[in-house]
Amino acid sequence: SEVMRLENVWKIYRVGDVETRALKGVSFSVCKGDLTAIMGPSGSGKSTLLNMLGLLDKPTSGRIIIEGRDVTGLSSNEIADIRNRKIGFVFQQFNLINRLTVLENIELPLIPRGIPRNIRVRRVIEALKMAGGDESWLPKKPNQLSGGQQQRVAIARAIVGEPEVILADEPTGNLDRSSARLVMDTFLRLNDAGLTIIIVTHDPEIANCTKKIVVLRDGVIKSIEEPRSEKCIL
Ligand code: ADP
Ligand code: ADP
């Protein structure tokens, strides 16, 4: 079943007199259980596509449909509400808050929902375990952990609110090989558990462990390819 789709989405950035056509009529469907890599050269529109799927920015034209509902015309508040309930984000730079503990970072998405503290803590621990982390990290600050451990904390934060979709922008771009593999292994387990995951990546080793590779070039989808799963070595 379909979770979200882009219909003929154009995104044109205007900076002064300069116009960049970052997406040129992209249509793209995300279905429940997908584990998809988005690849393509630098500047081909990958981050922009992810920003559209994540409702972080509005298309210049075209429609974004979430669970059958056109969200393109909704107010910023309504869009933020859908984003907070349906979408979890993972970034290349982890984007954890270093003055907060690991526990406080992971529970952030639960605070606006008014969930009592004891239940928040229980859900944080569940999410951290699902993300391949360890309870002993909870009182630490993120910068006391390795990069790979920080990314697993970030994944826990992304899943703690039980989103429909995880959107990850170069999640292994700052990690060494073995940490990258651990993070990808975490995504594979979460996908097995039913989570839908879209990963922007330059790394063929990561892409080969997904179920579908979407290749962007110059703002259009150039091809949709089968990963070479025999090359997935996790
Ligand atoms: P990728 O993620 O594949 O590297 P991006 O989506 O980041 O591609 O960028 C696509 C094109 O849009 C590039 O030419 C980039 O410079 C331009 N672009 C992206 N974001 C902005 C922005 N906020 N303002 C102006 N131009 C942008
Ligand atoms: P990525 O590694 O994800 O492709 P980029 O370096 O392309 O990262 O972009 C990082 C951020 O900067 C994105 O949020 C993108 O929208 C923004 N950006 C990219 N190109 C430009 C640009 N030419 N002008 C302004 N912002 C840009």
For residue 19, list its beta bridge partners.
14
Q: Which atom of ligand 1 is nearest to the CA of 14?
A: 25
Q: What's the gap in Å between 18 CA and the centre of ligand 1?
A: 12
Contacts of 125 (CB under 8 A, 6+ apart): 135, 138
| Partners of 4 in beta bridges | 30, 66
* Rounded Cα distance, 135 and 158, in Å: 17
What is the interface pTM, i.e. ipTM, of the complex?
Answer: 0.78
Structure tokens at 90: 């993972």
What separation in Å is there between the alpha carbon of 219 and the centre of ligand 1? Answer: 10
**234 Cβ contact list (under 8 Å, min separation 6):** 181, 184, 185, 188, 209
pLDDT of residue 233: 83
191 lines ligand 1 (CB under 6 A): no
pLDDT in tens, 187-234: 999 999 999 999 999 999 999 999 999 999 999 999 999 998 888 888
pLDDT in tens, the chain (234 residues): 999 999 999 999 999 999 999 999 999 999 999 999 999 999 999 999 999 999 999 999 999 999 999 999 999 999 999 999 999 999 999 999 999 999 999 999 999 999 999 999 999 999 999 999 999 999 999 999 999 999 999 999 999 999 999 999 999 999 999 999 999 999 999 999 999 999 999 999 999 999 999 999 999 999 999 998 888 888
Question: Does the beta carbon of 15 sit less than 6 angstroms from any atom of ligand 1?
Answer: yes
Tokens of 69: 């509902």
The separation between the first and the last C-alpha atoms of the chain, rounded to the nearest angstrom, is: 28
Ligand 2 atom with the smallest distance to the CA of 48 is 16
Measured CA to CA, the distance from residue 41 to residue 19 in angstroms comes to 19
pTM for this entry: 0.91
Q: Which atom of ligand 1 is nearest to the CA of 216?
A: 3
Of 13, 46, 47, the residue with max ligand 2 atoms within 8 A of its CB, to mutate for a pocket test, comes to: 47
Nearest CA-CA partner of 130 in 191, 211, 207: 191
